[in-house]
C-alpha cells in the first residue's frame, strides 16, 4: 500500500516542474497551467468520498489498483497529446483516479495490521507519500533533460504501472483481502473506539455529518492550510520581512520538509505506545504554533532559523500518525473507507483555499501575517482535536496493551 501511496504523490508533483515546457508546447499561460492543477485537485476532492463508499462496498484493493492504473495511464497520456483541452481532460481523469488512495489504503491498513502496530503502519504509509513528494521534482527534471518532457511523463507513468503490476501479481491483494474480514473484529476491539456498540450501523449521511467527523474534517482542513502555507509562501515572506537570503530561507523550508518526514516515522512508534493520540497532536501543535509565530516575528540568524524550522517540521511529522489514529478510532466497523475519504477531503479544501489567501496578504505588504495565519491555523487545529476527544474506559487498556 505504501508503494502505491508513493507513486500517487510522485505523479502528482510531476507536472509543476514541467510548466516551462508545457507553456511553450501548449501555448498556455502560467495562470492557465495553474488552473490545470486546480482541476486535478478539485477532481481528487470531489471523488474522494464516493471512492470511500465504493471501498466499503466492494473492497479496497480493486478500487486502489484501478485508481493507480488510471492515474499512471493519464500521466503518461499527457506526454502523448497535443491539445490543451486534452491536457485539461487528462488532468481531471488523473485527479479522479488519485482520489482512491486515502480511503482505500487506510481501509486496508486498518483491516490487516495488528492494532498494536497500526500507528507505525500509518506512519510508514504517510512517510512513503511525503518521500514521493520530495523526490518527484528532481527526478522528473532529470528525465526531462535526458528524454524530453514528453518522454519523462511516459516513463514516470510506466514506472507507476510496473508498481501496480507488482502489487497485483505479487499476491498482496489476495492475501490482504482474505485477511480483511477475519481481522476486522480484532482490529475494532483493539482500537479503543468509544460509542460504536456491536450491531450499530449509522447511515452514511448520519455518520459523515456527525459532530465528531465534522470536527475531524475541519482538523484536516486546518492542518492542510498550515502545511500548504509553509510550502507556498514561507520563503517569500522571510525574504520580504527580514531580507533573509533566498538560499537560507529555502534551506530552512527544505529542513522543515525533511524533518517532517522523519517525524512521521517517530510519530508512528509513539502512536502505538499511547492511547492519548489527541494529547500527542495537541502538544505538537502548540509547540509548532509557538515556533512559527516566533519565526514570523523576529529576525534570527540563518542557523537558528534552520534549527527552529527543523524542530517545527519534526513536530508536524509526529502529528500525522496520531491524526490518522484519531480518524481510525472514529470509524465504525465497515466504514473506514468512507470515513477516511470524507475527512481527508479537508486536505484538498485547505490546499485549494490557502494559496490565494496568503498571496493576497503578500500582495498587500502583510507578509508577517503569513506566519500568523499558519500559527492560528495550528491553534485552531489544536482546539479541534481536543474537542474531538471522547473519553473511554478503554483508553488505559489500549495504552497498556500496546506497551
pLDDT of 391: 45
Looking at mean pLDDT, say which of 133-142, 196-205, 288-297, 330-339 comes out highest: 288-297
Instruction: Write out the three cell numbers for 201.
Output: 450501523
Name the band, by pLDDT with cuts 50, 70 and 90, for residue 94: very high
Q: Of the candidates 337, 352, 295, 365, which has an alpha carbon nearest to the alpha carbon of residue 55?
A: 337
Q: What is the mean pLDDT of the chain?
A: 80
Q: Is the separation of the CB atoms in 104 and 179 below 8 Å? A: no
Q: Which residue has the cell 482541476?
A: 39
Res 181: pLDDT: 41
Residue 371 and residue 363: Cα distance in Å, rounded? 15
Q: What are phi and psi of 128, to 5 degrees?
A: -60, -40
Q: How confident is the model at residue 204 (pLDDT cuts 50, 70, 90)?
A: low
Per-residue pLDDT, averaged over 6-29, amounts to 87
- CA-nearest of 328, 341, 324, 323 to 57 is 341
Confidence of residue 206 (pLDDT cuts 50, 70, 90): confident
273 versus 66: which is more confidently predicted? 66
> How confident is the model at residue 73, as a pLDDT?
97
The answer to whether 318 and 127 are in contact (CB under 8 A) is no
* Each residue's pLDDT tens digit, 210-244: 888 888 889 889 988 888 788 778 888 898 899 99
| Residue 290, pLDDT score | 95
Q: Bigger pLDDT: 144 or 134?
A: 144
Confidence of residue 1 (pLDDT cuts 50, 70, 90): low
CB 10 within 8 A of CB 132: yes
* CATH 1.20.1250.20 holds for 204-401: yes
Top-ranked range on mean pLDDT: pick from 262-276, 300-314, 373-387: 300-314
pLDDT given at position 202: 55
Domain with CATH 1.20.1250.20 in the chain: 2-189, 204-401
What's the pLDDT at 361? 84
pTM assigned to the model: 0.68
Query: Average of pLDDT values for 313-320?
Result: 88
Q: What is the CATH number of domain 2-189?
A: 1.20.1250.20
Mean pLDDT lowest among 41-55, 76-90, 278-292, 347-361: 347-361
| Helix 345-363 / helix 30-58 crossing angle, nearest 10 deg | 160
- Cα-Cα-Cα-Cα dihedral sign, residues 164, 221, 381, 307: positive
Q: In three state form, how does the secondary structure of 43-66 look?
A: HHHHHHHHHHHHHHHHCHHHHHHH
Question: Whole-angstrom Cα distance, residue 34 to residue 18?
Answer: 12
d(CA 323, CA 332): 17
32: alpha, beta or left, given left = phi > 0 and alpha = psi -120 to 50? alpha
Angle at 314 between CA 310 and CA 316, to 5 degrees: 115
Cα distances (Å, whole numbers) of residue 67 to 51, 63, 98, 353: 10, 6, 6, 26
Segment 285-309 mean pLDDT: 94
Amino acid at each position: 500500500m505504501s508503494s502505491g501511496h508513493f507513486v500517487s504523490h510522485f505523479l502528482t508533483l510531476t507536472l509543476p516542474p514541467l510548466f516551462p515546457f508545457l507553456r511553450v508546447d501548449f501555448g498556455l499561460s502560467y495562470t492557465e497551467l495553474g488552473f490545470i492543477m486546480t482541476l486535478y485537485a478539485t477532481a481528487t476532492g470531489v471523488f474522494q468520498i464516493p471512492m470511500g463508499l465504493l471501498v466499503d462496498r466492494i473492497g479496497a484493493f480493486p478500487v486502489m489498483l484501478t485508481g493507480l492504473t488510471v492515474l499512471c495511464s493519464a500521466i503518461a497520456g499527457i506526454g502523448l497529446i497535443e491539445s490543451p483541452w486534452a491536457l485539461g481532460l487528462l488532468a481531471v481523469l488523473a485527479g479522479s483516479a488519485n482520489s482512491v488512495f486515502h480511503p482505500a489504503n487506510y481501509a486496508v491498513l486498518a483491516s490487516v495490521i495488528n492494532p498494536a502496530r497500526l500507528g507505525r503502519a500509518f506512519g510508514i504509509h504517510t512517510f512513503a507519500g511525503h518521500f514521493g513528494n520530495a523526490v518527484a521534482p528532481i527526478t522528473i527534471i532529470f528525465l526531462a533533460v535526458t528524454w524530453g518532457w514528453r518522454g519523462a511523463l511516459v516513463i514516470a507513468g510506466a514506472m507507476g504501472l510496473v508498481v501496480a503490476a507488482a502489487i497485483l501479481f505479487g499476491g498482496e491483494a489476495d492475501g490482504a483481502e482474505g485477511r480483511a474480514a477475519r481481522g476486522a473484529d480484532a482490529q475494532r476491539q483493539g482500537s479503543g473506539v468509544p460509542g460504536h456498540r456491536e450491531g450499530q450501523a449509522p447511515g452514511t449521511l448520519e455518520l459523515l455529518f456527525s459532530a465528531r467527523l465534522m470536527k475531524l474534517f475541519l482538523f484536516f482542513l486546518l492542518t492542510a492550510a498550515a502545511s500548504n502555507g509553509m510550502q507556498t509562501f514561507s520563503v517569500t515572506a522571510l525574504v520580504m520581512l527580514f531580507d533573509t537570503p533566498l538560499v537560507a530561507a529555502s534551506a530552512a523550508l527544505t529542513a522543515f520538509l525533511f524533518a517532517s518526514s522523519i517525524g512521521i516515522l517517530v510519530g508512528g512508534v509513539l502512536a502505538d505506545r499511547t492511547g492519548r493520540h489527541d494529547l500527542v497532536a495537541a502538544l505538537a501543535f502548540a509547540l509548532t504554533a509557538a515556533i512559527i509565530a516566533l519565526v514570523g516575528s523576529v529576525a534570527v540568524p540563518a542557523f537558528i532559523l534552520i534549527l527552529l524550522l527543523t524542530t517545527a517540521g519534526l513536530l508536524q511529522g509526529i502529528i500525522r500518525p496520531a491524526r490518522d489514529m484519531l480518524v481510525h478510532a472514529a470509524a465504525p466497523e465497515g466504514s473506514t473507507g468512507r470515513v477516511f475519504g470524507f475527512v481527508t477531503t479537508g486536505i484538498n479544501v485547505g490546499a485549494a483555499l490557502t494559496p490565494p489567501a496568503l498571496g493576497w496578504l503578500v500582495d498587500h505588504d502583510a507578509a508577517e501575517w503569513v506566519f500568523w495565519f499558519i500559527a492560528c491555523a495550528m491553534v485552531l487545529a489544536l482546539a479541534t482535536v481536543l474537542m474531538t476527544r471522547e473519553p473511554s474506559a478503554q483508553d488505559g487498556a489500549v495504552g497498556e496493551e500496546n506497551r
